Amino acid sequence: MNASQSETPQQILERLGLALPPVDDDPHYTNARESAGGQIFISGQLPYRDGVLPMSGRVGAEVSVDEARDLMLQATLNGLAVAAHATGGLDRVRMIQMLAFVNAVDGFEQQSRVADAGSNLLTDVLGDDGRHARTAIGVASLPRNSAVEVQFICEARR
């Protein structure tokens, strides 16, 4: 069980009005790769919704902090879908690390606030299994001019 001890991670997602998106293959790289030690490395996830990047640009210019937080939540949801696929189910995911990238203007200092949206989703859905080490980094650009990207290391809970 997780945070509420009475709901499964899937039930929590449903209560939050969220659903894991489908995981699509990419011809250029794999979405997840397991190490010999059992850690699963999740490729960087952009905040696609139904195959579309809903907004692009730099946080602090074209994208507000609140919009970036919403985008981080979506990117995290996409990463959770890959993690669930790689581990055999959402109830088997144990997060180890989150690396959050924020495409921001020079001098932007709220990377952690943006990343908090993803961290909160992980702990809300997975409870203690969602707690993770984290780094939040401001960058000059991201693929497709995305405002955020998130990457994870997780493992399958036994």
Domain of residue 120, residue span:
9-19+28-156
Q: Give the global pTM.
A: 0.94
Confidence of residue 25 (pLDDT cuts 50, 70, 90): confident
Tell me whether residue 103 is in a domain.
yes
Furthest C-alpha separation in the chain: 45
How many structural domains comprise the chain? 1
Confidence of residue 1 (pLDDT cuts 50, 70, 90): very low
CA dihedral sign of residues 106, 58, 114, 92: negative
The strands making up 32-34's β-sheet, listed across from edge to edge, are: 32-34, 39-45, 148-156, 93-103, 133-139
pLDDT tens sequence across 50-102: 999 999 999 999 999 999 999 999 999 999 999 999 999 999 999 999 999 99
Q: What is the pLDDT of residue 134?
A: 98
Tell me whether residue 4 is in a domain.
no
pLDDT tens sequence across 92-136: 999 999 999 999 999 999 999 999 999 999 999 999 999 999 999
State the CATH number of the domain containing residue 152: 3.30.1330.40
Tell me whether residue 113 is in a domain.
yes
CA dihedral sign of residues 104, 45, 91, 35: negative
Tell me whether residue 3 is in a domain.
no
